[in-house]
Every structure is written in C-alpha cells, then in structure tokens.
Structure 1
C-alpha cells in the first residue's frame, strides 16, 4: 500500500485553505516582535528561541537550495544540511528553520561563527563544529502553498512531511503556559522563547502574531567605525556601533570586548577595506572624534546589560557578525 499523503490527513477546513502552487524560489521570512513580559494564553504555542542563523530550505525535485533571511545561498557553507534535505522522500517543499551549533546544551551563535564564515568547509571543521537545522514551519508542500493554513496545522503537516533524523530536527513546542516555559528557558541559559498564535497564517513581515521574549539583552547593530588598538592588541581597539532611526544611523556606543585574536585580524582586514573619510553617524550621542570611519555595511550581534539614559550600551560585548541581515533593517529593539 502506498504511503498516504499527509495533506489528506488535514481537517477538511484546513485543506480548503490550500492553494496549488509551483515550487517557490524564495519566501521572505515571518519575523517576531520583541516584547518584555511573557504570558500564559490558551491557543498560543511556545518554542525555544534558538541562537543561530535563520534558513529557508527549498526543494524542487533534485534541486535543493538553502537561503539566509536576506537571500544569501548557504549550500556551500552547510553541505551536510543540503544532503539531509536531498535525502528526504518528499521532493517539493519549503521549510523555515534555524541552523545552530551547541556549546554544551545551549545553542551558540558565537561558536557558529566558525562555520558561517567558511565556504566549502573541510572535513575537520565539519567534525569540530557540527551543525543541526531545527525546522519550525512549512510554507509549501507537494505542489501546495501552505501559508494560509493555521500555524497549528502547518506544524502537524511539517512533522509528517519530513523524516526527522540528525542533522534535521523538528522544533518542539509547549502549549499555553508561556510564563513557566520562559522561567525554565532562562534557568537553562537559553536565549529566550518565541510565542506564536496557533491560529496565525504565515506572512512575510514582522508580526505581533509571533512574539519573542529574551532572557538576555542582545541585538544586531551596524558597525560605523573603530578605534586604534592599544598596547599588545592587534587589529583594532573597539567597534563603534549604531542602529537606524528615521533613516539615520544613531550612535549607540563602543564595543571593545568579546574578540579573540583571529576575529581581531579578520574583522580588522574587513574594516580597513570599508574605510571612509566621513562619519556615518547622524543621530544619537556623539561618537569619539579619534576614530576610523567605515561604510555601514557590516552588522554585528552585540550583548549588553542595559541602555543608559543617554541612549548608549552598558557593558557591550561582541558576539559575532551577522551576514543574514541588511544594515538598513537594524533598529533599536529595547
């Protein structure tokens, strides 16, 4: 007996919302809105917030494409994930997920940097920094656009549509009890949790149907300059970072910690190639005068303890570069 198509197992009301569709070549991602206070609410699903790289996995028969949230092709960076999706029995799908590696039991964006920056990784690096992809949504399956299905049905379909074995994993979720799950996540050292309305459709925009709650304060910032190194330090001293506000780059502070020597060398070379004569900062507090300015092309993930009343970062630390986000998308989150 042939395997039953999981679409046939959907409720009749859900099947009526499916639309025939060719294999998509790209779907802009749905983004969560940052909120401060977690909640408990019937009908909502709560997932761990993973500290990795967003990935859209597209398969159309023999062709498999892994794309970042800003449409950069990731096939050469994560060949083991390409193989995992190509080995699936299903031949037409679009899966939304997150690529991660672990430091102990916790996902680590900083450690993932060692893979994100390398195309065609050697076997030694594949063994040293193994990666997994956690799938959390299904946007297309077997010739149908599934984005108008309620999230709950999309997840049920996703779980049946693919064969989940390492390095491909299905992200688990909790129902209703978001406050307890948030406390558990923070006690385990996770980045936070994501709350999703179980009835929500998939939209290619930032939405309040998906909410994120962070255990630690961190976000992306645009690099607009750097200072000279002092003493035995190599590369550069500190990064000058900011965010966009009403179309202008607002200065947010200096970041001088979180770098190892390899990062100082590599990032130092990148910054030197982007140098410009004028400051890109046009809003916020005044940046230091003794600085090298760069074109605002690089985005960094920065952790910090809080914002000062003057609008600057307190105790910032560098976590890594983000190649999956455009500088003009970076705004103040907290």
Structure 2
C-alpha cells in the first residue's frame, strides 16, 4: 500500500500563549516542515507543499528506516543546529541547496498521523504524541519534540530567554485537520536590531512606516509608533534626507526614498525572511551606512 501525503495542520500566529491548563506547549523550531512516510515503497520525506526531498534528506531517510513499524506518517521539522545548540534556518538553507547531501540535519518529530495501517488523525493530540514518543529510538537524528512543562506564560519566558524563535501551543484532545487551525497556535519571540532607514511611507488614514535595509539589503517596513512629538522629530530628520535614489526593484507607490545617514532601531519577529510585526523603536543618525544592493 502506498500512503498519500497529508497536507499539514498549520498553527495560527497569535500574540500571546493560551493560559488555561488545556494546552501542551512545544518549542517552535526554525526549519522546514517535513512529513516522513514509510510504506511498501520505502521511505519518503516530503515538504509542506508536497515536494519529495528524500534525496536532500538522505541521512534522515536512513534513520527513518530503523523505526520499527510496517508503515507510518510522521509530522515534524527538519533543522540544523548551530554552535549554540539552537536551530539555524540559514544554515539549513545552505545545507539543502548544496549539491552534496548534508550530514548536519535533524528531525524534530512532533506528531504521528498514521501507523501500521491505522489512520490516527481522529485521536487526541496527546495520545498521538505518546505513541510517537514510544516509536522513536533515542539518541538518533530523528528526535521526539518534548512538551515543555509549565503555563503558557512560563514557557514563553523560557523560550524567549533561551534565544529561540518561539513556541507552539496545542489544544489537548484536538484531532489532526489539514490547514490553518486555532487548535494549534504559534507565538513568536521578538528581537531588536539597528538598521538603515532608506524610505518612508506616509499616507492619510494609514499608519506611517519606515522602510529598512540591513547590511545593505532591503529588509521590509516597520511601523512608526511614536507619540506625536517624537514622530515629528523623526519627520524633521527625514525631511533633510528626502531625495535618495529608488532602490532597484522597490518602486513602492507613495514611498519617499532617503539619502544615506538615518538609522533606526527596529523590534521584529524572529525567524522571518523580511521584517514582520515590526515597529521602529529608536532613531538616530549614523555615518556608517552601507549602500543598498
């Protein structure tokens, strides 16, 4: 029997973790969502969009062969680990795009959808996870994603202090259903960084935004949440910088592009390719500004 890929269940992004005792909490790993399928045709590792990446994850495929079951579908996240012991998305991107199969990959397995001819998706999430934990051998590159003890707030504090990307909370008793769901919720941590302000967007009736570059590359927009007096001081600084060149590929409507020199401190969600949920915190002038690529 050949098992079919199951579209993943996707947590909704929320601002704060749930507070009741009706939830389990896990670390959110910074990697690629991966479904590991074993059936009569062998092992396949499939991305969240249904692409077969078994060749790129060949070492994980070998470890999956050692799991003692006739067939299964495991849901997890493929990650790489940096020197600090944290999942590193950029290193993962390099590993999976290399011509040589990487030996630095791990799979954090967090759900079990099918086992030995049985569809487990209607079972409560905590029961599926108990079966999965018993199924996975210890000490290998496929590892069970342990639940974190404590309340949602306590887990979030620990995750944030550890420098991790965030957490995922799952409602106890919930079944597995493909697509977005509020039965799974992801709560991301924030970080702050100084970036070059290369443009502004000011439209009537809309929140003002500054457009940022990081290490010479466009990073996205950040909301200006200052009070009126501080916001006006920022606009006074901006006024002297208007007239910069429009960056290649960034011909945004109603954007004012700035000459180099203005820097702002931005608070934004970790683990995103571009700025997301970003706000400008502190602005200032800097002479060490790089050109936008």
Tell me which interval the TM-score lies in, with the shorter structure as reference length. 0.5 to 0.7
CA distance in 2, matches of 1:34, 1:214: 8
Q: Deviations over 1:209-251 (max 9, x none)?
A: 0001111269xxxxxxxxxxxxxxxxxxxxxxxxxxxxxxxx9
Question: For 1:1-334, what aligned pairs fall within 5 Å after superposition?
Answer: 23-103=2-82, 104-121=84-101, 126=103, 130-175=104-149, 177-216=151-190, 253=211, 255-257=213-215, 286=255, 301-303=273-275, 306-307=278-279
Q: When the two structures are superposed, what TM-score results if normalisation uses the length of structure 1? A: 0.59
Shift of 1:284: 7.2
RMSD (CA atoms): 3.2
Distance in 2 between the 1:37 and 1:90 partners?
38
CA distance in 1, matches of 2:16, 2:119: 34
Distance 2:254 2:174 in 1: 40
Q: Aligned equivalents of 2:10 and 2:213: distance in 1?
A: 27
The residue matched to 2:17 in structure 1 has which SS? coil
For the pair shown, which has the larger CA radius of gyration, 1 or 2? 2
Q: TM-score, normalised by structure 2?
A: 0.67
Residues 303, 100 of structure 1: alpha-carbon distance in 2 compared, 3 angstrom cutoff: farther
Deviations 1:161-217 (A, max 9, x none): 232431110000035511101001000100011000011110101000000111126
Gaps of 5+ in 1: 1-21, 219-250, 260-278, 289-299, 309-334
How many residues were matched structurally?
223
Tell me the equivalent position of 2:241. Answer: none
Give the gaps of 5 or more residues in structure 2. Answer: 193-208, 218-248, 258-271, 281-293
Distance change in 2, residues 1:252/1:30 (3 Å): farther
Q: Sort the Cα spacing of 1:253 and 1:285 in 2 relative to 1 into closer, same or farther, 3 A.
A: farther
Structure 2 contact 27–148 (Cα < 8 Å) conserved = no
